[in-house]
Amino acid sequence: MKQMKKAIVVLVPYPAQGHVSPMQKLAWGFVGHGFEAVIVVPQFLERQIRVEVSGEWKKDEVKWVGLADGVEAQEEEGRSPDFFGIESAMEKSMPSQLEGLLSKLGEEGHVACLVVDLLASWALQVADSCAIPSAAFWPAMFASYLFIQAIPHMLSRRLISHSGLPQHEGKFCLEPELPVISTEDLPWLVGNDAAKKARFKFWKRTLERSKSLKWLLVNSFPDESKLEHPTKVANKFSSHSQGCPRVLPIGPICMHRVTKCVSFWEEDLSCLRWLAKQKANSVVYISFGSWVSPVGEAKLKSLALALEASERPFLWVLRSTWREGLPHGFLERVVKKDRGRIVSWAPQNQILQHSSVACYITHCGWNSILEALQFQKKLLCYPVAGDQFVNCAYVVQVWKVGLRLNELEAKDVEEGLVRVIEDKEMDTRLRKLHERIMGVKGGNNTTGAFMLKMFVEDLKKGRKSSSRP
């Protein structure tokens, strides 16, 4: 009897920390189901993370492959690639490279599926040209995907112009179960008008490329928004005749195998020793993720003065390039009084599960919210851009496990800290939410794991039917 070739799943993340981390955890999920997992990243990113990967995992567990990306040419010209620079480089350089890799992997085994981050939709076209099944991956919450999926709907209702800009200021919601958000908070409204229009064009192109998708794997829990039938809801906003992909909420992916994730920057572990010396439920943790620049120098200074005025111990993740905007003498005073720690990058999972941490001031990145829910930390939200406003609306309006900071002045921050830390009803809601989505009572994230298993079974059925004579 002829032995079947090993089954391989190839995963293509968008090259940013908040996208690579959940994709890596998803890769471990596939390994647990007997697949070989190969993560494809641009070479500039592979060079950055190779040291982290070396020696961390068995070589046959999750493989990393770097493809020529064109980013190096931009760096040689003295340009630091931004979202649009990376997108342009990938679109031009990586499709042919990926096609060659898939051909090589096909000689070694059977490529069962290409799982593509929707922000790297160029890879969906490669899957089609190579006749390989493809699934999209949405690393954020399902509700934020709906705002992308609903672009044609919003255009027809004239909520936005054909360039994606709001036609009027105001509040709206797509479904009764979804929270109300401002027309100014739509996910593509980042930067100046030119950048907003370019991002809107990017998402329209992504929707066009997604027309023939069969599956959408979402890093969300099924009842995140009390929407019981996510595919039906997504299909309501679909503009093409064949509908939309089958939506499978396989999250929260933060629960998929507890092991070290790649980090693009070196983590400062000294903060853990400092945390261990603090009283239980006393420390304020602050992090705006890997992208802090839109906060701005003035607001950065206000937040520093607010933290100092609160007289509470704090741990702040702040890249060294942004410390120049801190108030004069702030760092010296913090160190002298041993009132807090400021680090360039930190082991966030270990911090959030620490008993000394009372609450988390966050930009509302989806990975950060999932980690906070996993370790039952209440949130003070200061969304900056993109899907963070939608995420914040869920934290504050739907789940009620945090508050939104409208300003970063001393009075706003202190009042927010007092309300969040002392709110016992919020503690109860957070515990119940944690039990529901993390599967504390019923097992280890049973619903998300079941959804991933359904997808794997679909792949295996497809392989059996395609191998029949």
Residue 465: its pLDDT value, please? 53
Over range 212-234, report the average pLDDT.
75
Per the model's pLDDT, the better-predicted residue between 228 and 199 turns out to be 199
Q: Which residue has the tokens 């003295």?
A: 78
CA atoms within 13 A on the CB side of 183: 16
**pLDDT tens, 146-188?**
889 899 989 998 889 999 999 988 888 887 777 888 888 899 9
Q: pTM of the prediction?
A: 0.89
Lowest mean pLDDT: which of 43-47, 101-105, 135-139, 426-430?
A: 43-47
Residue 73: its pLDDT value, please? 60
**pLDDT tens, 305-314?**
999 999 999 9
**Cβ atoms within 10 Å of 392's Cβ, excluding its own:** 26
* 121 phi and psi angles, rounded to 5 deg: -65, -15
Over range 255-263, report the average pLDDT.
59
Strand, helix or coil at 283?
Answer: strand
**pLDDT tens, 359-413?**
999 999 999 999 999 999 999 999 988 899 999 999 999 999 999 999 999 999 9
CA 279 to chain centre: 31
Residues contacting 228, CB < 8 A, separation 6+? 222
Residues contacting 347, CB < 8 A, separation 6+? 267, 269, 272
Hey, what domains does the chain have and what are their CATH numbers? 7-259+442-467 (3.40.50.2000), 270-438 (3.40.50.2000)
Residue 61: its pLDDT value, please? 73
Burial class (CB in 10 A: 0-12, 13-18, 19+), 348: buried
SS (H, E, C) 352-414: HCCCCEEEEEECCCHHHHHHHHHCCCEEEECCCCCCHHHHHHHHHHHCCCEEECCCCCHHHHH
* 376 phi and psi angles, rounded to 5 deg: 55, 55
CA 190 to chain centre: 16
Over range 38-54, report the average pLDDT.
73
What value does the mean pLDDT of the chain take?
85
Residue 254: its pLDDT value, please? 65
Q: Which long-range contacts (CB under 8 A, 24 or more apart) does 204-210 make?
A: 204/151, 205/121, 206/118, 206/119, 206/121, 206/148, 207/148, 207/149, 207/151, 207/152, 207/239, 209/121, 209/122, 209/124, 209/125, 210/118, 210/121, 210/124, 210/136, 210/245
